């Protein structure tokens, strides 16, 4: 998983725009959670600073902070709903 510290990252799938991830957002969480190949591509839309969040760190964040886990679930649901509407 990656956190966008500065800038914007564009997410695409098969050449189709899916989302812009702004500073404060994350991407790559699905592949980290289910260990399957990524389902989309991420490209810096502007100059960016990105922080990698390894699985061990994600597990620690989720186990120590239930609100973080809930926020991550909401993000996943939002992305699933958006993909179903497109």
CATH topology of domain 2-85: Jelly Rolls (2.60.120)
pLDDT of the residue at 50: 98
* Digitized pLDDT (tens) for each residue of the chain, 86 residues in all: 999 999 999 999 999 999 999 999 999 998 888 998 888 999 999 999 999 999 999 999 999 999 999 999 999 999 888 878 86
d(CA 79, CA 37): 17
Q: Where are the domains of the chain?
A: 2-85
d(CA 5, CA 37): 24
d(CA 54, CA 57): 5
């Amino acid at each position: 998983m990656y956190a966008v510290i500065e800038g914007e990252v564009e997410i695409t799938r098969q050449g189709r725009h899916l989302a812009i991830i702004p500073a404060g957002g994350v991407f790559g969480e699905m592949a980290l959670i289910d260990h399957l190949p990524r389902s989309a591509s991420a490209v810096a839309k502007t100059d960016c600073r990105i922080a990698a969040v390894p699985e061990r760190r994600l597990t620690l964040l989720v186990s120590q902070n239930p609100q973080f886990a809930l926020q991550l679930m909401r993000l996943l649901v939002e992305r699933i709903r958006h993909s179903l509407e497109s």
